[in-house]
Amino acid sequence: MRTYHTEHTPKPRKYPTEITRSLVEEFSGQTFDYQEILPVFSNYERDAQASDVSPKIRALADLCLILFNSHEFVYSY
């Protein structure tokens, strides 16, 4: 896994700050678009993502997921 994560670095995730909404006007039936600002992500502090940590940590996270999802771990502990 270390070799894989050394060769493949994930891209950082970008969150949207605005989106385009499309609505239908009630009386005329015509559609119109408008931009909606998303204030939720303006001061958003995200947790550490895969792109923020080293390949060694990503490989360790994969190992932990494999162990936690194994049949022996779920039913023995």
> What SS3 state is found at 68?
helix
Quick one: pLDDT at residue 76?
A: 65
Q: How far apart are CA 77 and CA 69, in angstroms?
A: 12
Q: How far apart are CA 30 and CA 40, in angstroms?
A: 30
pLDDT in tens, 17-52: 889 999 998 889 899 999 998 887 777 777 888 888
* Count of structural domains, the chain: 1
Burial class (CB in 10 A: 0-12, 13-18, 19+), 61: middle
Quick one: pLDDT at residue 60?
A: 94
pLDDT in tens, 47-75: 888 888 999 999 999 999 998 888 877 77
- Structural domain span for residue 23: 2-76
